[in-house]
Chain A
Amino acid sequence: GAGVSQSPSNKVTEKGKDVELRCDPISGHTALYWYRQSLGQGLEFLIYFQGNSAPDKSGLPSDRFSAERTGGSVSTLTIQRTQQEDSAVYLCASSFNSYEQYFGPGTRLTVT
């Protein structure tokens, strides 16, 4: 079946602009995660959605970062007033039982 998809695959933006990154999880998966992968910090957890529960936002690095998940499916990660240190690959994962996470190909964000 179809895996986790993310769009766009690449995004170049100017410092100070807002960006939206999209994640389509595997159908039927109730849990959705966002991670960031950067050279200096490795793989970092950002946010976790489980069903209709309040999301776990404990990994968001600043209030410029937010995410929502509509209808328990598609998720959008928004970064406001982008900074150069936001440049990274943003990975989305989904899970059926919260034990095994399946990752999408990622969105490479470059802030110039």
Chain B
Amino acid sequence: AQSVTQPDIHITVSEGASLELRCNYSYGATPYLFWYVQSPGQGLQLLLKYFSGDTLVQGIKGFEAEFKRSQSSFNLRKPSVHWSDAAEYFCAVAPSGSARQLTFGSGTQLTVLP
């Protein structure tokens, strides 16, 4: 069965610092990969996605992620964090060819210090 691991439950960074959130997946083939963000009391917002092709994908709000097949990873990065980025971030996978159902990681809570 496919699974997603986000090893960091909670990360704290200072505003303006760079950010990297880790995501590792276990799946027989290269799945479709997603990052979602959830602000308090809100639903999930899609930040970016990877289906195929260029392994560095750009998303909204200045985020990017890099797919590394050899490491089964899809880490999320941002060069300079803003206070408004404080939220919970979820990595998710779906079988390639369909996003019938997403399998989510346990999430990483991001705190941004002024």
Q: Is the CB–CB distance between B43 and A104 below 8 Å?
A: yes
What size tier do the contact residues of chain B reach? 20 to 34
Q: Does A105 contact B (CB under 8 A)?
A: yes
Question: Is the Cβ of A100 less than 8 Å from the Cβ of B46?
Answer: yes
Question: Contact mask A89-112 → B, CB, 8 Å, 1/0?
Answer: 001010100111111111000000
Greatest chain B CB density within 10 A among A4, A99, A100, A104 is at: A99
**In the complex, how many angstroms separate the beta carbon of B28 from the nearest chain A beta carbon?**
18
- Please pick, from B32, B51, B101, the residue contacting A56 in the complex, using a CB distance under 8 A: B101
Q: When chains A and B are docked, how far (Å) is the Cα of A45 from the Cα of B93? A: 12
A106 to B46, CA, bound (A): 15
Residue of B with least CB distance to A45 = B101
B67: Cβ under 8 A from any A Cβ: no
How many residues does chain A have at the interface if contact means C-beta atoms less than 8 Å apart?
A: 23
B71 at the interface (CB under 8 A from A): no
- Is A59 interfacial (CB-CB < 8 Å)? yes
Residue of B nearest to A95 (CB): B99
- The CA of A33 and the CA of B92, in the complex, are separated in Å by 15
Minimum Cβ distance to chain A for residue B75 (Å): 19
Interface residues of A (CB under 8 A from B): 4, 33, 35, 42-43, 45, 48, 50, 56, 58-59, 91, 93, 95, 98-106
Given contacts A43-B90, A48-B101, A100-B49, 8 further A-B contacts (CB under 8 A): A4-B43, A42-B104, A45-B102, A58-B101, A99-B51, A102-B46, A103-B36, A103-B44
**A35 and B102 alpha carbons, distance in the complex (Å):** 9
Of residues 58 to 114 in B, which have CB atoms within 8 Å of A's CB atoms? 90, 92, 94, 98-107
Q: Is B45 interfacial (CB 8 A cutoff)?
A: yes
